[in-house]
Amino acid sequence: MAANASIIGRTTRIRGRVSGAVDLEVQGFVDGEIAVGGDVTIDTHGMVGAGVQGKRLVVRGAVKGDLLGSEAVLLEDGARVVGDVRAPRVVIAPGALVRGFVDTGDAGMPAPRASRSTAAARPAAAPAHAPARAAAPPPKAEAPAAKAAHKPAPPAHLAGGGNHAPAPSPSVPRRPPPPVVPALKKAKGQIAKKKER
């Protein structure tokens, strides 16, 4: 399997679809979709004209299409992306430019401590979260296990500063998690749509 790493070289242009189970590096131009099971690197001179799917996407080049990483999307200096970015881990470095919707995967609402009016403004999301203190991720921490297949979001860091400890906080879940998540997800979608207009 590892006999050949796959590389789309600098002067290579592919018009069509690239798929497979392994890693792929793009230094040239893929005018079409990429969907692989491994990692995808789009180098400084690399360009992709449609959506990219993979485990871990690292972009330093240009993409016109949605980026979907089952593990992570890392946009590095030089990246130019027009499209939506979705992954449990999204990092956008200084020098990377993006136009599109970005979801770090675990961005449930930042429990708005500041306001009550928010609860009114976002009825669907607020009830689940409003009582939760910023430091109390339990309702979410429980959830990912159940829906790992769809969204393997690490229940990382609410107040944790930079650390990315994947240890789900064992602190008491104050309410049963299952009903919370669907409501939250739906609300996220609605809000996103509203904002897109």
Partner 1 sequence: MASTVIGAGITVEGEITTDEDVVVAGTVRGKLSAKEGVTIEHGATVEADVAGGSLVVAGALTGNVTASERVDMQSGSRVIGNVKAARVTIADGAQFKGNVDMDV
Partner 2 sequence: MAQARTTSRNASDAGARIGSGARIRGRIHGDGDLVVEGQVEGELAIRGELTIAEGGAVTSEAVEAQSVVVAGTLEGDVAASGPVRLVAGARVRGNLKGSAVSIEEGARFSGRLDCEFDLPPELGGAARGDTRGRAAARR
Whether the Cβ atoms of residue 141 and residue 169 lie closer than 8 Å to each other: yes
Token digits of residue 133: 């203190």
What residues are paired with 172 via a beta bridge? none
Return the structure tokens found at 7: 């590389």
Q: Which is nearer to partner 1, 9 or 189 (CB)?
A: 9
The footprint of partner 2 on residues 136-155 (CB under 8 A) is none
Binder of residue 7, out of partner 1, partner 2, none (CB less than 5 to 8 A by kind): partner 1
CB of 41 to partner 1, least distance (A): 13
CB of 1 to partner 2, least distance (A): 30
Does 163 engage in binding with partner 2 (CB under 8 A)? yes
CB 93 within 8 A of CB 76: yes
Q: Residue 17's binding partner, choosing from partner 2, partner 1, none, with beta-carbon cut-off 5 to 8 A by kind?
A: partner 1
By beta-carbon proximity to partner 1, the closer residue of 44 and 169 is 44
Nearer to partner 2, 95 or 131 (CB): 95
Of positions 14, 96, 124, 130, contacts partner 2 by CB under 8 A: 96
Q: Which residues bind partner 1 (CB under 8 A)?
A: 1, 3-22, 24, 27-28, 32, 36
In whole angstroms, give the CA distance from residue 181 to residue 189.
12
Are residues 44 and 28 in contact, defined by beta-carbon separation less than 8 angstroms? no
Q: Which residues of 15-27 are buried (b: 16+ CB within 10 A; e: fewer)?
A: eeebeeeebbbbb
